[in-house]
Every structure is written in structure tokens, then in C-alpha cells.
Structure 1
Amino acid sequence: MEKMEAEEAKEETGTSFLYQMRKEKMEEDVKVVLQQLTMVAQVPSDAADRTELGARYENLITQLTKQHRLGCGITGLLLIYPTCLLHIIEASEYLLDCFLNELRAMQEQPDCKLLEAKVAFMWHSLEGRQFQQWSYKVLTADQINQNLLFTTLEKVEESVETVVCRVLTQLQELVMHLKTSKELPGAILDNKPELLNPPAVLEQLLDRDELLSPQQYLQMYHSPLNICIDFGQVNLRSFF
């Protein structure tokens, strides 16, 4: 009897060990590498259209999250200015690919409210989320016109790298405030409008040919590498 119980305990221990191994393997499989996409786009100036655009983006993010439950979700911030938008999205590489594909399909629809768009920056291997959830905010004309930093901004010809760094630096200022506050980004920006990126700076990025559109980015992402098959081959006749 004792021998039988010992064998059953041994078998149970072995089963538990295998179960734990499989569980750890599954947990490793669902671990994903976070990436952050920063995108700018041109939008209509009509306030009603901008509110509708925000709701449309929110619906898209919700659908993607429900369809792809495995792995990490989507966090970030969408700021809709009177003439343009700034969108920061944190997700896995696969979810960002899905988002850009859906965005491309949305742009092809006749009633699309989103015009020209450019991928400003893609941050690979993000150590941690900078935003706890995804949210959007429609900025009013008063919030822009009453900001002295925007009205006194002089137009200076700068490199695309400099302009992108300016945008990212301003976003990091907002992130630092988020770490010490429980408020949503929109509420913080209401109290500290100086944390906003000037729309004139974002519009500069829309005019830069160095930046890729979402369609161009997807095409480059899915295209195979052009590898020269002659690389590394040696012509023996050159030695004689």
C-alpha cells in the first residue's frame, strides 16, 4: 500500500513538474517586446469632424484590443489639434502592424477624415509603458491661440532630426508629469498647456519627404531585404 502511494506521489510530482514547465513555456511565448509609434497627420478644421475622428480612433483601438487578447494591449495618447494630430501608440510589433493596416484601410474609405500622415518615430524595445492606458483629447482653438509659446514661435528651417527630437522631448516632459500624477494626460494638459507641442512644429513634419507615410512604412516593413548574392564570393582568377 505504501509502495503504491509512493508511486502515485512520484507520478503526481512528475505531472506537476511537467505542468509547471509547460506553463512557464506558455508565459515565455506570450511575452512581447513593446514598441512605441509616434505619428502626425493632417485633419479637417471642423470641430465636429475632429470629435468624430477621436471616437473613430477609440473604436479602432477597442476592436484591435478585443481581437488580439493574447499579449500586451494598446496604450498611448491621441492629441487632435485644430489642423493636425499627434498620436503615440505603445503595443507589440504585431499590434502596431495591425493598427497601421487598419489605418491604411480607413484612409482609403470615401468618408475618411484623416488626410496626410507621417510616421515620425518608431521606438523599438521599449523598457516600459509611458502611458497607463489609451486616451484621446480634442484641443480647442482657444487652447492653441492663447498659448504665448505658440504665437511667438518663429519659423526656422531645421533638419528633420532636430524637429523630431523637439517633439519627443516635449512628450517626455508630459510623461514625467504622468509619473507623479493619477490624472489622465488630457487633464494635465488643461492645467499645463505649455507641455503641448506647437502645431507649427508638427506641421513641419508633414512637409518632410524624409518621413514615411503609414503606407510606405508598411511596404518597407513587409518587403524582403535586398541581398546581393555576389557578396562574399571570391573570383579565384584575380589571384593569378
Structure 2
Amino acid sequence: MAGNRLANSLPSGVSPYVNAYKNSLFEEVEKQKSSYKKCFIHRLVYIAEINGPSGDDNKNAIAGHYEQFVSKIQKNSQTEGITGHLFIYPGCIVHLIETSTENLAVILKDLSDMEKGANPLLKDARVLVVSHCLLSRMFTSWAPQILTVTLSMQECAPHTEPEELLTQIYKLCTSIQEIKDNSLSKVAEQSLLMVEEGVHNLCPSSILRSPSEFLQTYRKPINILMDSEIMWPTQTRLYW
């Protein structure tokens, strides 16, 4: 009789002996967590000098390398895709990438290995900023752009702060997005020159970290045992 009463009080199709409810609070929280698992986007901005003469061959080689590299990551990665923009100047590059932390680590590893090669395409690479857990992307796809704007080194500012360069890069990205035919307007050309000046000033300096230094910090464990945490005498085994 008790079993019949319990069966009558439950919705149809639900066994009185099995907890088959699917609309519990725990279940709803798990659904919300799973829906946001692949939505954590991080943005990396790094700069580097072009190694060797600033000719079209080097610029095309850099564009081709990153086109193949990004395409390979997109095919093999099971996380978020890559969006961003690669600005290839006559003598330097600015690379803005939006993707997961795993992909960012792979990109920095490739950049670090590239600099250690026999004939590297880039040198003096520096990580400008890494922004975590972005609410939205700045770009909808990834693309390289070879720039022909030349810089007169006599007009370079003697000092450039990383914050100023980052602001100019974001302004440049906004200008590029507003230009539908990829042609540079006067405003964008001025932004291009200011960004190039900042890159040439910051790459040789030690203000910013190199990709290898950043990866060492990134991979360093956070649960480091301090000397003050070591107990004396040391603990011995009770069982062998």
C-alpha cells in the first residue's frame, strides 16, 4: 500500500525506487557549467623584429609560416579556434591572437623555437600582454597583413611605454576592422607609424619578457615548498 501511494504521488514514468529526476538544481548547474567550458577566450599580443633584410621574401616567408601554423592548430585543436591579426611591417611584426591557453602556449613555444633556429625569421620577440577570460573577441577570424608603410628612424620617439604601444595597437585593430576593402586610410597610416616606432623601441629592451621567459613562468608550479614550511625533525615512515 505504501508503495502504491508513493507511485501515485510521483509523475508518470518515474520509478518510486530510482531517483530519475532530471531537473534538480545540481543538474541545472552542471548544464550551465558545461555550456561555458569552451567559452574562455584569452588574448595574446607579442612583438618581434624581422631577422635579416626587410625584403618581400622575408615578409612572405613569415606570413606563409603563420598561415600554415595557425591552420595546423585549427585542425588539431579541440578547444576554441584562433582569431586575430598579424601585422607584418618592413622590419618588425605585431601579432594579436585570441584563443585558448593551450593554443597560446603552443604559439609561444613555436616562437621560442623559431628564434633558436639556424636562420630565424624573427628575433628579439617580446610578450606585450596576455588578457585572460575575455567577454568577447575583437576579431571574427585570423588573417595576416603585409604592410608597406616605411618608417623614418629620425622620427622615432626616444622612449615608449608598453601601455602606450598596447593602446595604439588596439586603436589600429579598430581602424582595420572599419576598413572593408583592407586599404589603409590616413588615420590608419598614422597609427601604423606610431605602432612601428613603439615596436622598434621595446624589442631591444629588457622591459618585456621573451617567449621563453614567459613559458618558464607559465609552467612553474605554484605549490612551491618554502624553507619555513619544512618541519624538523623530518617525518619517518610508520609502515614499510
Give the alignment's TM-score, normalised by structure 2.
0.73
Where do 1:1-150 residues align within 5 Å?
Answer: 7-8=12-13, 14=21, 23-32=31-40, 34-43=41-50, 44=52, 45-70=54-79, 72-140=80-148, 143-144=149-150
Offset at residue 169 of structure 1 (A): 1.8
- Kindly provide the CA deviation profile for residues 29-81 of structure 1, in whole angstroms up to 9, marking residues without a partner as x: 3332x2211111111312112112111111111111221133x2111111111
Structure 1 distance, partners of 2:134, 2:32, is 23
Matched, 1:193 2:189: yes
Cα 1:200–1:123, aligned 2, differ >3 Å: closer, same or farther? same
Paired amino acid for 1:37: L
CA contact (8 A) 1:36 1:122 kept: yes
Of 160, 163, 171, 2:161 maps to: 163
Give the alignment's TM-score, normalised by structure 1.
0.73
Match of 1:230 in 2: 228
Match of 1:147 in 2: none
Where do 1:214-225 residues align within 5 Å?
Answer: 214-225=211-222
SS at match of 1:174: helix
SS at match of 1:56: helix
SS at match of 1:116: strand
More helix by share: 1
Q: How many aligned positions are there?
A: 215
CA contact (8 A) 1:37 1:88 kept: yes
- Contiguous gaps of at least 5 residues in structure 1: 145-149, 234-240
Larger radius of gyration: 2
Cα 1:35–1:169, aligned 2, differ >3 Å: closer, same or farther? same
Structure 2 distance, partners of 1:56, 1:39, is 16
Match of 2:171 in 1: 173
CA contact (8 A) 2:128 2:166 kept: no
- Contiguous gaps of at least 5 residues in structure 2: 1-7, 232-240
CA contact (8 A) 1:40 1:120 kept: yes
